[in-house]
Structure 1
Amino acid sequence: MVHSGDLSLSWILYDFGGRRATLDNAKALLSAAQANENAVLQQTFADAAKAYYAAVAAREQLRADEAVVQDAQNSLVAAQQRSNRGIAPITEVYQAQTAYRQAQIAQTRDQGQAMTAQGNLANVIALSPDTAMTLDGLDDTTQPDETFQRSVSQLMAQAERTHPAIVAAEKELDAANAGVTQAKSQGRPTIKLVAQYSQNNEPVQLGLGLPHYPATGHDGYVGIQVSVPIFSGFATSYQVRQARAQVDQQSVAVDKAKQQVALQVWTSYQSLQTDRQNLIYSSEMQSVATQAWESAQRRYRSGIGTILELLSTQTALAQARQQRIQALTTWRYDRLALASALGQLDWNDIDALKSGASPDG
């Protein structure tokens, strides 16, 4: 049986940084991809949180509507009692009845909005819109905490260091810089260590018509190979220019990412500061509106107050309840929005949201 074998070895000793640049480029692109994945997850969770708190606000508004309808019904009963006793005109009954129907209309409208918000939440978390869901109620005793109370300048500086969108842009810039070195190395010499060894047992024949004789051949060498590119039609020059243009483009992308993140942090921070004040004001307003409504009820039943006073305080209380719900849900969402702007949302926040909204059954 005739056989032959070859073994070759080639090892780059020096290529003006081309091999290292190729490795750095691949590592930077991998890091950029991982950071981009993190940024997408942050935004996806923020969108889910927004849909969740919209659904919670709609559900809480329905509960408030029940109280409004009940208050309007009580006002109607009181007006009918006064009219039956002859101490109030029938027009007061009509006014109270109109307010009662308006409360029912608002309740019906909010019921549709609640179902729409719940369907949107289900869609965001990849469920069918008709999935029945259990939502946590709002804690009306919530008080603002000291989270994110550092200066906005400190928060923007922190986001610039750690936000995944900025990290991704910077890693892509590193990859572009490595691409310049890689392109330059294409037009420069390469020094390699090369070695080869071959063996075969092909029979030899001393002459035509003479018999073949068994034989074994060996051949091998070790050496240094220097490859010097002479001319490539200016391809290397064009590749270097293209790589440098990519660096310039990516530098702009880094600056743009920093500006965008800084704006998001600034906007979210200012919204959260406003929310903190609104939490306090909405609580005080609901308390005052409740006292005014209770006082108007007593005055009207005793024959001192008027129907206009009663209905006015009733409307003010309904508005105060709605604004309290809005203040609570907006503050909760804006806390997560600021965490997202900082790039600090983690799996603990995701687990908290999952526990707050779960499919029935």
Structure 2
Amino acid sequence: MSSTLAEWILGRGLTLWPGFFLLGTGLLLFINMQSAWAAPLDMLIHDPFDTEGWVKAPLGQPWQDQRLQLPEAVLPGTHTFVKPQSLAALTNYALAHNPQTRVAYQNLQASAAGLGVAESAWLPSISLSDSASRFQGNTTAGFRIPIINSNSATLSLSYVLLDFGLRAAQKDAALAQLYISGFDNNSALSKVALTVTQNYYQLIGEQALVRAYAQTIREDTASLNAARLKQHSGMATIADVLQAQSALAQARAQWISASATVRSDQAALAESCGLPSNNPIPLVPLNIHQLPPDITPSLQSLVQHATQHNPGVQAAAARILASRATLREDQAQGLPTLSASVSAGKRFQNGLAPSQNWAIGFSLKVPLFTGFHDSYQIQQARRQERSAQASLNQETQSIALTVYQDYQTVMGARAAAAAAQLAVKSAQASLAAIRAQYKVGLSTMLNLLTAQATLTTAEQTRIQDITTAYVQLANLANALGMIGLPKAGNLSGGLA
């Protein structure tokens, strides 16, 4: 019996072993599949594409790949300014060279191209296709069929005849996106102009402080020399000299700190203009004797203007148009679509005369059930429209608050600057009188240094109030939707 079994295995069994092997392999893979949940053949090789080779760095080490070639950024080039620049000139240069404006402009151009994509849906679609094949087969009786060489060329035209407003809604959505990109571009221009203005007045303010500290150093040096002369003549003690030296050292420390701040502000201004940080920019100095311009329009008219012309508010309003178009587009998705198609072609086979074919057809698509996809999408679009309306109200309220606060800050800073002007004149007169008294022994060194410190503080306050007023005026102009400071020193010319 055992020999019979052996003969069967050697005779019949060996012919069936591939099937047994595949069956056993399939069972093993099926058992493994219960835990791995992968296709059976996918588990034969663990990582055929060597994806783990991309993660050779151990845990806690930075990842890098020598083959990686990322696009390189283009650093800005230097620019030489031949004369001191005004704020208007620097703003115009920054609007053309700051990367933010370029990004916004490219986005605007992309949205314009998107409108062209939506417009193209109104035109027919034409395509040319060509296929070539070589075929040979055998019949079940063992006869070989001759080789068949064929080539087919087809020209097709298709056009949507009726879509119940789908294409119109898509066009309106693309147009609304163009509006949004346009207002975002205007907002980018306004923000760049605001940044340049802030950096400009920050820099010229610090430069004015440096000049004020330099004047303080000269005044303290003169006081120190006077104290030394009086000490030599016996009219003052060493305490006066030491006090004068301390005041001079403090003034020099303030001058050094302000000079370092100037260099930092110069880098910030250059960067906002799209230039390297070390690019020098000569500036027209701050006129510390001129008050910032007054605001002639009323606060109510400024708020009204901002709610209509601020690019952020305009973009929020355009988003409502986009959401409405999206709602109409989603509603049109559930309506029938009628299309027409025309095609003609030729087929060449084994050198025989070509066969011709043509077809004219109409296609009607009537959506019946989408698993509630369309209904939920319409509900989503309606909610998004309401959200866009709420966002518009929120943006308008925020801009109105910004205008109100900037207006109050500008008026307060301007009034403070006017008071600082009087304080500087009073401090200058007081210092001159005390210095004269000190020379004849009617005043002390402490009184002289106090008067000098009072003048320095008054100069600092005047410069800060003037620059603050200009910066807040720029903030107000930005909230009103203006690019840069208003012309002619007031806001009336920019209001309709």
TM range (shorter): 0.7 to 0.9
2:461 counterpart of 1:323: yes
How far apart are residue 7 of structure 1 and its match? Answer: 5.6
- 1:91-149 Cα shifts (integer Å, max 9, x gaps): 22222222122212221222222222222222333333333331220113323434x42
Instruction: Give 1:28's match in structure 2, choosing from 162, 176, 199.
Output: 176
Pairing of 1:184-333 with structure 2 (within 5 A): 184-191=331-338, 194=340, 196=342, 198=344, 226-333=364-471
2:410/2:473 contact within 8 Å kept: yes
Instruction: Give 1:143's match in structure 2, choosing from 283, 291, 294.
Output: 291
Distance 1:155 1:319, change over 3 A: same
2:216/2:456 contact within 8 Å kept: yes
- 1:144-203 Cα shifts (integer Å, max 9, x gaps): 434x422222212111111111111111121111111110111122345x3647576999
1:138/1:328 contact within 8 Å kept: no
How far apart are residue 240 of structure 1 and its match? Answer: 0.8
Distance 1:79 1:261, change over 3 A: same
2:308 counterpart of 1:161: yes
Give, in whole Å, the separation in 2 of the partners of 1:156 and 1:174.
Answer: 24
Q: Which amino acid aligns with 2:448?
A: L
Question: Secondary structure at 1:16's aligned position in 2?
Answer: coil
Question: Secondary structure at 1:134's aligned position in 2?
Answer: coil
2:473/2:485 contact within 8 Å kept: no
Distance 1:182 1:302, change over 3 A: same
Give, in whole Å, the separation in 1 of the partners of 2:467 and 2:166.
Answer: 55
Give, in whole Å, the separation in 2 of the partners of 1:328 and 1:112.
Answer: 21
2:153/2:346 contact within 8 Å kept: yes
2:180/2:318 contact within 8 Å kept: yes
- 1:272-305 Cα shifts (integer Å, max 9, x gaps): 1112102211111111110111111111112212
Instruction: Give 2:265's match in structure 1, choosing from 100, 110, 117.
Output: 117
Q: Which amino acid aligns with 1:328?
A: I
Distance 1:301 1:190, change over 3 A: same
1:355 equivalent in structure 2 = none
TM-score normalised by the chain length of structure 1: 0.83
Distance 1:101 1:173, change over 3 A: same
> How many residue pairs align between the two structures?
336
2:477/2:485 contact within 8 Å kept: no
Question: Secondary structure at 1:10's aligned position in 2?
Answer: strand
1:359 equivalent in structure 2 = none
How far apart are residue 312 of structure 1 and its match? Answer: 1.2
2:141 equivalent in structure 1 = none
2:414/2:466 contact within 8 Å kept: no
1:179 equivalent in structure 2 = 326
Give, in whole Å, the separation in 2 of the partners of 1:133 and 1:335.
Answer: 23
2:482 counterpart of 1:344: yes
Q: Which amino acid aligns with 1:287?
A: K
How far apart are residue 16 of structure 1 and its match? Answer: 3.0
Pairing of 1:124-139 with structure 2 (within 5 A): 124-139=272-287
1:285/1:320 contact within 8 Å kept: yes
Question: Secondary structure at 2:245's aligned position in 1?
Answer: helix
- Which structure's CA Rg is the greater one? 2
2:292/2:466 contact within 8 Å kept: no
2:205/2:467 contact within 8 Å kept: yes
Percent identity between the two aligned chains: 27
Question: Secondary structure at 1:133's aligned position in 2?
Answer: coil
Give, in whole Å, the separation in 1 of the partners of 2:455 and 2:484.
Answer: 39
2:193/2:484 contact within 8 Å kept: no
Distance 1:341 1:201, change over 3 A: closer
Question: Secondary structure at 1:52's aligned position in 2?
Answer: helix
Question: Secondary structure at 1:87's aligned position in 2?
Answer: coil
Q: Which amino acid aligns with 2:173?
A: N
Greater Cα offset, 290-299 or 75-84? 75-84
2:101 equivalent in structure 1 = none
Give, in whole Å, the separation in 1 of the partners of 2:425 and 2:260.
Answer: 28
Higher relative contact order (Cα pairs below 8 Å, separated by 6+ residues):
1
Q: Which amino acid aligns with 1:90?
A: I
- 1:29-66 Cα shifts (integer Å, max 9, x gaps): 11101111211221122122212211111111111111
Distance 1:78 1:200, change over 3 A: closer
Question: Secondary structure at 2:334's aligned position in 1?
Answer: coil
2:207 counterpart of 1:59: yes
2:424/2:459 contact within 8 Å kept: yes
